Amino acid sequence: MKHAAEDAGRLVLLRHGQSTTNAEGRFTGWADVPLTAYGEHQALVAAELLARTGLAPDFVHTSVLRRAVHTADLLLAHLDRAWIPVRRTWRLNERQYGALTGRRKAEVRRESGPAQYEAWRRSLTGAPGPLPAVDLAALRADPRYAALAGHGVPAVESLADVITRIAPYWADVLAPHIRRGRTVLVVSHGNALRALVAVLDRLTPDEVEQLNIPTAAPLHYTFDAALRPTARGGRYLDPARAKAAAKAVAAEGHH
């Protein structure tokens, strides 16, 4: 059903609620960690925001990592929309942080220095060392990644690499829903959503470095008939909270 007064559908981007490694200040990457109790609460608060603003989704897309899956499941149950189509894909996984996976951010910043730390976290092309071979082998044996047979599971990624895997998912899967006037919810991860925003808004490398996505803060995009965002950067449903939370993300590891 086409939404009145809109040329196309609507897209809501949602980073999962707080995970255990978020709470511990660690790099997570493709490690499959659960939500904290607070993260579960955040999912319900996000659901209330969607309900109050009339953004009940028609389709949901998540990564295959449990923190995104659980956030989406909690949200849909709260909205009484657990029956709608849900698609899960590795393309919406968090960035593969390689050798940094599981390490405390503050410790990495002290060891590597502020400039290198920020390049690894926020630049377009910076990437740390690869995931240790034993951990990479375990990922490659995980049935979730059977479609990535052989060496398809990355040992490490830059944000540019994440953009490369997310851009076709936007063009081939998400955009067709939008063209049909549907409301689409994407529940994913901080860097995966940075990559998707970079595609939508055609961000420059400097803009990419400045972009931080807070947990469980719904970000709403509308589009014109040519599928261009009507407002660059979209609109957070709770702008004040999102701004404060994004500032906290930018400061991770600094203390």
CATH code for the structural domain at 10-250 = 3.40.50.1240
Q: What is the pLDDT of residue 1?
A: 38
Tell me the β-bridge partners of 99. none
Average pLDDT taken over every residue of the chain: 95
Mean pLDDT over 50-75 rounds to: 97
Q: What is the pLDDT of residue 7?
A: 55
% of the chain residues with pLDDT over 70: 97
Render the burial of 229-239: b for 16+ CB within 10 Å, e for the rest. Answer: beeeebebbbe
What does each C-alpha distance from 254 to 116, 171, 248 come to in angstroms?
13, 37, 10
Active site residue 189: no
The catalytic position among 48, 61, 78, 94 is: 94
Domain definitions of the chain by residue range: 10-250
Q: Is the pLDDT score of 242 beyond 90? A: yes
Mean pLDDT over 38-54 rounds to: 97
% of the chain residues with pLDDT over 90: 95
Q: What is the pLDDT of residue 149?
A: 78
Q: What is the pLDDT of residue 3?
A: 42
Active site residue 16: yes
